[in-house]
């Protein structure tokens, strides 16, 4: 199996107990995935198998 790095996108960074504290971890993880698809419209979402 081949692996490809398509783009580098970070999750938001906040302080302990700050504005991101009520955000669920899975919702926080979805932010860079949505941005990845927005920045790379030629990438079909169904080919993404894993995100690290």
In this prediction, residue 1 carries a pLDDT of 72
Could you tell me how far CA 39 lies from the centroid of its own chain?
12
Tell which residue, 38, 28, 26, has the closest CA to residue 6. Answer: 38
Tell me how far apart the terminal alpha carbons of the chain are, to the nearest angstrom: 16
For 23-50, what is each residue's pLDDT tens digit?
898 898 888 889 989 998 998 988 888 7
- Cα–Cα distance for residue pair 13/19, rounded to 1 Å: 10
What one-character DSSP code corresponds to residue 10?
P
In this prediction, residue 2 carries a pLDDT of 81
pLDDT grade for 11, boundaries at 50, 70 and 90: confident
Q: Name the more confident of 18 and 51.
A: 18
Is 0.75 topped by the overall pTM?
Answer: no
């Amino acid at each position: 199996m081949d692996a490809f790095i398509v783009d580098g996108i970070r999750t938001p960074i906040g302080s302990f107990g700050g504005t991101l504290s009520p955000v669920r971890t899975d919702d926080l993880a979805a932010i860079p995935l949505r941005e990845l698809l927005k920045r790379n419209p030629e990438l079909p979402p169904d080919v993404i198998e894993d995100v690290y």
